[in-house]
Amino acid sequence: MTSKFGKKASSLALGSSMLVLSMLPAASAFAASAPTVSLSENGYTIAAQLTPGQSVSFTAGSQNVSNPRYQFWVEKPNGQWVVGQNYSTSNTFKLSNVSSGDYLVTAYVLSAAQLSTGDYSAATNIGTNGLQQVDGVFVDSAVSLSAQSATVTAGSQVTVTATASNIYDPLYQFWYETPSGVWNQSGSYTASGTYSFKAATTGTYNIIAYAKSPLALNDPEGALFSKTVTEKSVNAVSSVTVTGTSDIAAGNSTTLTATATANGVPVTSPSTVSWTVTSSNGTASDVAFTHPNSPVTSFNVPSTDPGTYMVTASIDGVSSAPYKVVAYGQASMVSESAAHTHLVADGQELDTITAAVTDANGNTVANYSGTATIGLSGTAVTLATGSSQASDVSGSQVTFSGGVATFVVQATKTPGVSSSVTLSGLTAASGSTQSSTITYGSGLSIATVPQTATSISVKPKSKTLSVNTNDQPDTVNVTVDDQAGYPMLGGTYTLNASVSGGATFTGSTTTDTVYASGDPATTALTVYGAEGVTGTYVVTVSGTGLITGSAGISAVITGVAKDLTATDSTPTFTEGSPTGTTVTLGATDASGNTVTLPSTVSPEVTITNASGAVVTNLSVAPGSASAVTPTASGIYDLPVGTTTFTVTDTSGKPDAGTYTVTVKDGESTAPLASTSLTITEKAASASTFSLTPATNVLTASNLSTTLNMQVTDAYGNPVTDAGVPITLSATGTSGSASFNSGSYSTSPSVTVDTNAAGSASVTFHAEDYTGTWTVSAAASKASGLSAPSSVKLYVQNHPVASYSFKLEDTSTGTYSGNTTYAQAGNTVILTPALANAGLDANSNPVSSSVDGTDNVTVTIDHASGLMGLPTSSASSVTVTTNSATNTETLSGTLSNVSALLSSATLTAGKAGEVTVSITDNSTGATGAASIDIVASTTPAALSISGLTNNETLTTGTVYPVSVTLVDAGGNPIITSSSATVTLTTTTGLTAETTSGVPITSVTIAGGQSTVSFNVATSQSTFTGGSVSASTTISKQPYSGDVTGLSD
C-alpha cells in the first residue's frame, strides 16, 4: 500500500544501473504539471505479511509523463537495495519467492524520451501528495512483548521486553496507555528491546511495542507492532473489610464487597482478591463465588446447604475478619419468647410475645410471610385488645413479616394460675414456602402472681387552688398500687394523710386517717385553702409497708383575667389524621392563677415551625366549625368567644416536626396577653423512601458522592424503619463506576439495609471520565415501599489544563480526513469544536458546562488560508483582523467563540501553514493546531487585481491591471497551454495594451498564470462601472470581475 501518513521515506540511495539517484524533495517544490508516480500493493491496505515462498504484486501509475517507463527497486531483508525490475513499459512488478525478513519496494518513472537520452535525473518516485511512494512487506516477521510481572505497586517501575524476529537489524519503540486513557511513547526508535516506565497511578496500563528495520518508515508500512500487554498498578494494602447482606435464603446469593485500604485510604483498584469460606453447620465446599478474584462477588449458597458461613477476603496477603453470612433454609420451625414469664394478677399488666419462623438450624427465615393461630390455655392471660395490641394480630391470627411476629397478652385478675401460649397452623403467604412438617415449640408458660400492695399514688384534681376565700376546695385522689404500678383490686388499707402549707382537710385538720378499699383500692381527700395564704400545699399519704406518696397544690390569690392559656388534648398527632390535636383556651390572672376565660376574647392564631418561620400548611378550625383561611401574614382569625380549636394537617406535604402555636387576643379594649404551646406532628406509616446525592456534580478532584436514602411516609416525612434492603443500580454514558469502593463496572449495583433511623447511605465513585450517570433505587418487595425517581450524577473533570483539537480536510478526495494538509477549495473544520476540546490535568475531556464561561482568545495565523472566517463581531464575540500580519483574533467566552467558529463554513484558501491557537484567559490553558494549505491543480476562476470592488477612480487615469487563473483558494494556476481571456468593460472604461491600444482580449501564455493590461478611465464621469474577464480551458469556462467602479 502507499503511505498516507505524510512522512518521508528513509534516506534510500536508489538509482538505475547507470546512475544513483537520491530521494527527490517534496512535491511542493514542483510545478503543478510535474510528473508524479503512484504505487499500490495489490490486495493490501497496509504492508503485506507473508510466509516464505509467497509472492506479492505491485502496480505503478503516473501522471504528466508521456510514454511512461517504470523501474522498481527492492530493499532486501539484509538491507541491500537492488533493482527488482528495470525500466520498461510494464507498470506491474511481482516480488516472488520471498524469504524471511522485511522488504521495501518503490517505483520510479521516466518518459520514453528521457530514458532514450539517459536523462535519469528526471526520474521520480514522488506521488501527487508530494510524498515518496514506498511500500513494505513482512515475511514471517513478528514482534513479541512480555512484562516482568502482571501487577506492580503504584509508583514503581514497569519493565517490558520486546523481541523482533525476521526484521533486519531491528529498532524498537514502545507505547503505553495510562489508566486515564493517555498514550505515551518511549521516544525515538532505538536498538534496545527493553523499556521501563513509572506506573504513577493505580489502574490498568496497556503497552505495545513496535519494531522496524533502520531505513523503514515509521508507520504501518514499515513498522510491525506486538500484541497488547496489560499491567495492573495497585496500592499497598494495610487492611481489608467485607460488607454485604448478612442474611439470605439458601439457594440465593448475596453481593459481598471486599474493601482494601492503604493506611485508612480506600484502594480504588486493588489487585486480585482471594475469597475463602468456612461453616460449622453448612457445606463450605458447595458454596460458590461468581467472581472469586474480584473485590465484588456474588456469594451463592445452594438450596440444599443452609447454614452459617464465615467468609474471608484476602488482598495482597492481608485478610479480613471473618464475615458472617446466614443462609436460612425452608421454614420448618416456630419458636416463641416472652418479655416476662410472671405477671401480676391485676387485669392490666401486659406482656409482649415474639414469635419467629426458623429453619432446621434455628436461623430466622427472613423472607417468610404468613400467618399462624395463637393458642391460649389456662386462666393467667388473655389476648390484649385495642391500642395495647400489636398491629400484626387479627383475632387469634398473627401475621409474620420477615419471619417475625409479635402480639401482646394481658394478665387476668386471678393469681396463682398459669397459661400456655402456643402457635399452630403456620400457613405461608403467596411467595413464601415452608416444609411439609412444621415443628412447634412446647409453648410459653406464663404465670400470675398475687398482687402486693406496694405504693401510694396521690393525684390532685387541680394543680392550683384559689385562696381568695376559704370555700374553694380541691379533691385529691389516693390509690394503693401493686408491684406493677396498677391499682390494688381489693382490700382495705389504713392510710395516714397530712397537709402542710396552711391548708386543711375537712374539719379544719391538717392530718387525717383514711381507708382505701374496693376495686380499685382508692379513697379521696378534700383540701381547703386558707384565705389569703398562698404557696404550695403538700399532701402526703403513708401506710404501713407502703411507699409514701405525695403531691403539691399551688395556693394562689386570683385576680382579673390577664393572660391567655392554652392546653392541648393530644400534643402529638399523625400527619393526615382527621382528628389532629384540640387546643383549649383559658385565662390566668397577673399571678398566673387560673380564672374564667372572658367571653370577649378574640383569638388570633399564628403557627411557626422549628426555625421560627410562620407557616400556613396546617389547618385551624374553631370548635366544631370549618377551618378558617389564614390572612396574608399567616394569622388564623377565630370568632369572638372561641374556647377551643383543632389543628390538623391535610396538606400532603412533608410537615412532620415540632410547631409553636401562638394565640393572641385580638379584643381591642383590654386584650389578654398572648400564650403559646408546642405541638408535634408525627410521620405516617412508611410508604416510600427518598434518594438524595450529597452532590450531583463530580469533579476531577472529587469523583465521589454519598447517596443518602431515607424511608418516608406518603408525605415525605422520615420514618424509622430498620432492616429494609434497598438496591441501587447505576448506568452511565461513559466510563465505569463503583458503589462502596467495589469493582468498577459500566452498570454497578449494591444492596444495603436501612439502619434504626430508617436511613442508609452508599458511596458512589466514578472513574475519571466525563459523563452522566443515572442511579435508580428499589426496596425489597416485602417492604412494600415504592421506589423514588432516579437521580442524575454529572462527572465533570475540571479545571481545563489544555486544549487539544485539529484542523481537518473533510473533502472526499485525496486529502479526505487529512489533518496535515488541506487542498485549496476543500472544506476545513475544527475537530472537536473548541467548546469540547478542553482537557483536564489527566487529559480527560472537560465538559463545556465547566469551562464554557471561561474568557478565551483565539488567534488565527495566515488567516487568508481559511476562507469563511467571521470578519465582524457577533454573538458577544469581538473579532479583530490585521491584514498587515495576516492574522485574525476572536475574544469572548469559550462557548460563544466556539459556536461562532462552528457556525462558519471554512474553506482552504491561500497556500501556506494556518495555525489556530487558543488561550484560556481564566485558567491559562492553551492549545494549537496547524494545517498546510496546498494549491490545487484545478482552476476555479479568473482573479482581477489592480482594481477593487466599489473603488472610486480618477477621471482620465490609466490603471495597471492583471488577470490571473486561480484555484478555489485564490492560488495561481499555471496553464499547460495558452489561454485567451475575453475582456469586457462598461461605459467610461477601456481595456488597453501598455502602449495605449484598446483591446478586447489578452492571452495567458502556456506555462504562465497571469497576464497584464491597462484600464483607462474616460474624461466623463460614470457610476456602476465594471471590468470582466472570461476564458475557456478544456471546454470549462472561467470568469472574474470587478464591479461598483465609479469616478
> What is the DSSP secondary-structure string of 336-371?
EEES-SEEESSS--EEEEEEEEE-TTS-B-TT--EE
- What residues of the chain score a pLDDT lower than 70? 1-32, 268-271, 385-395, 471, 797-798, 849-850
Q: Which residues pair with 897 in a beta bridge?
A: none
Domain 563-682 has CATH 2.60.40.10: yes
Q: Which fold would CATH assign to domain 331-449?
A: Immunoglobulin-like (2.60.40)
Supply 403's cell numbers: 419471619
Q: Among 607, 619, 612, which Cα is nearest to 663's?
A: 607
pLDDT for the residue 1016: 94
DSSP string for 36-75: EEEEEETT-SS-EEE-TT--EEEEEEEES-SSEEEEEEEE
What gap in Å lies between CA 783 and CA 719, rounded to an integer? 13
What are the residues whose beta carbons fall under 8 Å from the beta carbon of 209, sequence distance 6 or more? 143, 145, 160, 162, 172, 173, 174, 175, 193, 195, 225, 226
What gap in Å lies between CA 472 and CA 311, rounded to an integer? 76
Count the helix, strand and coil residues of the chain and give each as a percent rounded to the nearest 5.
5, 50, 45
What gap in Å lies between CA 633 and CA 631, rounded to an integer? 5
Please count the CA atoms within 13 angstroms of the CA of 370 that sit on its side-chain side. 25
Q: What is the CATH number of domain 941-1045?
A: 2.60.40.3450
Contact yes or no for 418/446 (Cβ under 8 A): yes
Identify the architecture of domain 13-139 in CATH: Sandwich (2.60)
Task: Tell me which H or E stretch contains 902.
Answer: helix 894-903
DSSP string for 845-900: B--HHHHTTSEEEEEEESGGGEET---S-BTTBEEEEETTTTEEEEEEEHHHHHHH
> Which DSSP category does 501 fall into?
S
Q: Which fold would CATH assign to domain 802-934?
A: Immunoglobulin-like (2.60.40)
pLDDT for the residue 953: 92
Q: Which fold would CATH assign to domain 464-556?
A: Immunoglobulin-like (2.60.40)
Same fold, 331-449 and 464-556: yes
Q: Which fold would CATH assign to domain 142-234?
A: Immunoglobulin-like (2.60.40)
Contact yes or no for 371/398 (Cβ under 8 A): yes
pLDDT for the residue 798: 63
What gap in Å lies between CA 375 and CA 373, rounded to an integer? 6
Q: Is the N-terminal amide bond of 832 cis, ω within 30° of 0? A: yes
Q: What 3-state DSSP class applies to 836?
A: helix
Contact yes or no for 419/510 (Cβ under 8 A): no
Burial 913-941 (b: 16+ CB within 10 A, else e): ebbbebbbeebebebebebbbbbbbebbb
Would you list the domain boundaries of the chain? 13-139, 142-234, 239-328, 331-449, 464-556, 563-682, 688-796, 802-934, 941-1045
CATH of 239-328, one of 2.60.40.10, 3.20.20.100, 2.70.70.10, 2.40.30.30: 2.60.40.10
What pairing do the DSSP bridges indicate for beta strands 771-779 and 725-732? antiparallel
Q: Domain 688-796 class?
A: mainly beta
- pTM assigned to the model: 0.40
pLDDT for the residue 481: 97
**Residue 183: is it exposed, middle or buried by C-beta count within 10 angstroms (0-12/13-18/19+)?**
exposed
pLDDT for the residue 458: 97
Q: What 3-state DSSP class applies to 603?
A: strand
Phi, psi (deg, nearest 5) at residue 243:
-130, 160
pLDDT for the residue 271: 67
